[in-house]
Chains A and B, each alone.
Chain A
Amino acid sequence: MMVMLDLLLDLLLSPWVFVPLVYPGLVSAFALLLFIIWAERKMAGKVQMRYGPLYVLKPLGGIIQLVVDRIRYLFQEPIVPEEADAAAFVLAPIALFTACLLPVVVIPVGPEFYAFRSDISLLAFLALSSLAPAFTVAVGWASSNKFSLIGGLREGYLALAYEVPLVVSALAGAALYGTMDLVEMAEAQSSVWGVCLNPLAALVFLLLVYMETSRFPFEISEAESEIVMGPFTEYSGILYGLCMGASYVKMYALSLLFTVMFLGAWHPLPPPTGTVLDPILPGAVVFAKALAVMLCGTLLRAVYQRYRIDQALKISWHTLTPLSLASLALSALVGVA
């Protein structure tokens, strides 16, 4: 019996199971979802001179407000409209959520603790993360509602607009270290972080992360005041919980990538404590930095209004794409020196 337990423990702690399941995978994503939306509402409240959610758990400032919202979604009646295509209506949000969470598998946790390593792991990440807009369009089409159709199509427009410069600026980041393997990239940043080498690529990448996950200045596919909730208008209950969580999880994945590529993944390396947690400690540093990036992303909700879709497209095509090409040239220069 004890042998079985050890075997199970080893299996759980082995990278192939631990990474997708616990750290950068499912459990941390859900925990983060609960925390980040609460943090967003509290920060927006602070900026707007008010409390934000409080009386749920008064001593801790209402930190479990999102747990309460999730419980309500859980017990709410999931309505499937007749004229909607029932199968697509239910499966599309699930596919959307997984498509947003999938790229996280590629992120290395520690110098020798990773689930997936190859010399083109950056391209694998970008390929997986470009699946999500397709499912958003499917969500928009499946709920057969004019507003959600428009929302889905808008997501389609935006997907084209932000994928191209995103890939170019990511390649610019990779060109700094001459490799596409995330682990080598992390190792190469031990002395100086990627941001100092090529700040332009970092800035463009960050802006596009906000556009991809419809953060505030570019919250266009689910623009509240024009097309009610965008593609997610017809969803209620836990299906809506999934859809709303999907954009936050995609932001989680992209900010992890941003940390690994530009913010010096796990440097400065925490001292080894010799316990079984030893390989996972660098992951905690990466998680902390990714969390910081996400918090300032969610603060934008309290600061900015919303662009029109043609203005957002003009911004991405006219300014961000040339900028990302310039960053590619800059990193070639820096790489050589």
Chain B
Amino acid sequence: MSEAEERTIELLIGPQHPASGHMRLVARVDGDVVVELRPDIGYVHRTVEKLAEVKTYLQVVPLVERPALADTANHNLGYVLAVERLLGVEAPPRAQYLRTVLAEISRIHSHLYGLGILGIMLGSSTAFMWCFNDREPLIDLAQELTGARLTYSYMIPGGVRRDLPPGFAERAEKVFRYLERRLKDYERLYFRNPVVRARTEGVGVLTREDAVRLGVVGPNLRASGVAYDVREADPYEAYPDLDFHVVTREEGDCAARMWVRVDEIRESMRLVREALSKIPDGPILHERFSKAIPPKWREWMEEKRRVKIPAAMVSLRIPPGEALSRVEAARGELTFYLVSDGSPNPYRMRMVTPSFRNVVLFRHLIRDCRVADIPAIYGSLDYFPPEADR
């Protein structure tokens, strides 16, 4: 054991530790300074890619959502876009708007989940409780639109399953006004709190070159000054006709990542308001599938404003081919690479989630910093282990 080895002790911040989520951080610590940290992930590896190869295209929709429970709409959207590009099908405009509305609502309450986790990592149970309490009105909005709290399975290849309930826009407006008022209180207690600023400013700085070199995604990338957002780089669904500008910060430290998420909440609220005001009328399911539905069910669909999934979609066979779809999930860019071989099951589904691309940050960021910085940096990365392990 060399002399340096002698003085360092190895801290296993294991799966059962308030600062580690579902993974183990093996930290080599010398006194109060962290010499080196190695993430040991794989505790929630539930083999989504292997299971996708034995399920039909429609059965994969709920499977793809489970890993990222805090932000299911964007994962569902990513997979459905990949299938639609394979089929060469486009969802009708109204369905695209509905998808954008649900994706943005899911982004807002996923950011609040991330800010809540950062709050409890810094030690303030109030920030955690406030963030998780203010998630609830948004979950109610999503529940009104789709019927489920978190796992919506709302988007199917070719459209969406339900239409907008009446009076949704007014309720959404009420929730957003409440959230804006709350964000002002957050600034006094949480974001501008002198203790939080002392703990997060200048901690875990990610320079612009490192962020680009390591392929980091999402708010962690935009906090280092790189103005890259898939909604603006490769606009999908209804984003081209909504005026959307990317939120970035320059410093790249924990506070900047926190502030990017706060500004993105405000940005998403504006996007949902605009989408709800400009939503066109029309069918919510692509006619390739809706003409396969027997006429008796079709009036039921118009009258109930819901979709009955046709048999043609359940046993969907896609000719051999491959497609790639990119979606801006709450935690970053989500890539789906789908290879089909004509059978009802996908031949190979590759799902690279944003948290998996942020794993490289642990080893890079948490180096020669304090032991107390480990939870601060971990919380600011908004890293969701089940999504990274898939």
Contacts and interface: CB of A to CB of B under 8 A. Distances in A.
Interface of A: 44, 47-50, 146-147, 150, 216-217, 219-220, 223-228, 301-311
Q: Which of B11, B129, B130, B372 lies at the interface centre, i.e. has the most chain A CB atoms within 10 A of its CB?
A: B372
B375 A308 contact: no
Contacts of B361: none
Interface in B82-138: 119-127, 129-130, 133
Given A226-B19, A308-B372, A49 B133 contact: yes
A307 B195 contact: yes
B18 A224 contact: yes
A44 B125 CA distance: 9
Contacts of A49: 129-130, 133
B9 A146 contact: yes
Given A49-B133, A226-B375, A302 B125 contact: yes
B41 interface: no
26 contacts: A48-B125, A48-B129, A49-B129, A49-B133, A50-B129, A50-B133, A219-B123, A225-B120, A225-B121, A228-B17, A301-B125, A302-B125, A303-B124, A303-B126, A303-B189, A305-B124, A305-B193, A305-B195, A305-B196, A305-B199, A306-B124, A307-B199, A308-B370, A309-B370, A309-B372, A311-B198
Nearest to B189: A303
A42 to B, nearest CB: 14
Contacts of A146: 9, 11
A310 B18 CA distance: 21
Contacts, number: 79
Interface in B188-234: 189, 193, 195-196, 198-199
Given A308-B372, A310-B370, 20 more contacts: A48-B126, A50-B129, A50-B133, A146-B9, A146-B11, A216-B123, A217-B195, A219-B123, A225-B18, A225-B19, A225-B121, A225-B122, A226-B375, A227-B371, A302-B125, A304-B193, A306-B123, A308-B198, A308-B199, A309-B370
B2 to A, nearest CB: 20
Contacts of B193: 304-305
Nearest to A301: B125
Contact of B126 (A47, A228, A307): A47
Interface centre among B32, B122, B133, B374 (most CB of A within 10 A): B32
Contacts of B122: 225, 305-306
Nearest to B370: A308
B328 interface: no
A307 B372 CA distance: 9
Interface residues of B, number: 30
B126 A44 contact: yes
6 closest A-B pairs by beta carbon, nearest first, are A306-B123, A48-B129, A308-B372, A305-B122, A305-B195, A305-B124
A177 B380 CA distance: 51
A54 to B, nearest CB: 16
A306 B371 contact: no
B290 to A, nearest CB: 45
A226 B372 contact: yes
B15 to A, nearest CB: 13
Contacts of B130: 48-49
Contact of A228 (B18, B119, B370): B18
A224 B17 CA distance: 9
Nearest to B18: A225
A158 B66 CA distance: 45
Contacts of B371: 150, 226-227
A223 B372 contact: yes
A303 B196 CA distance: 11
Contacts of A224: 18, 123
A44 B32 CA distance: 30
Nearest to B371: A226
A226 B374 contact: yes
B373 interface: yes
A303 B195 CA distance: 10
Nearest to B123: A306
A307 B193 CA distance: 12
Contacts of B121: 225
B370 A305 contact: no
Contacts of B196: 305
A150 B11 CA distance: 10
Interface in B111-167: 119-127, 129-130, 133
Contacts of B125: 44, 48, 301-302
Contacts of A227: 371
A59 B201 CA distance: 46
A223 B18 CA distance: 10
B188 to A, nearest CB: 10
Interface string B301-339: 000000000000000000000000000000000000000
Given A49-B130, A224-B18, A304 B124 contact: yes
A179 B184 CA distance: 50
Contacts of B375: 225-226
A309 B199 CA distance: 11
A306 B195 contact: yes
